[in-house]
Amino acid sequence: MRQKSWRLVIVGCVLVVLAVGFFFYMMGMAPQSNDAKTMMQTVGMVSGGVGGLAIFMMIFGLIGKKA
């Protein structure tokens, strides 16, 4: 029987929420930027990286480890 790691699942969920929140917050700041396109590309890459890491953490936590 495998033991789920709820800490990883919770941290993964929090990171997904933070990544989405950061993306939308920076979308509000984009019109004030000198180069909005490049800024949003960078923000998208960072948010995507954090979101991907968070999804990996959630899956890894749900699979769990052997007891």
pLDDT above 90 for 49: yes
Q: What residue segments make up the domains of the chain, in order of their start?
A: 2-26+41-66
Give this prediction's pTM.
Answer: 0.86
Q: What percent of the chain has pLDDT over 90?
A: 91
Q: Among all chains, which residue has been given the structure tokens 């890491």?
A: 53
Q: How far apart are CA 45 and CA 63, in angstroms?
A: 27
Average pLDDT, the chain: 95
β-bridge mates for residue 3, sequence order: 65
Mean pLDDT along residues 42-62: 96
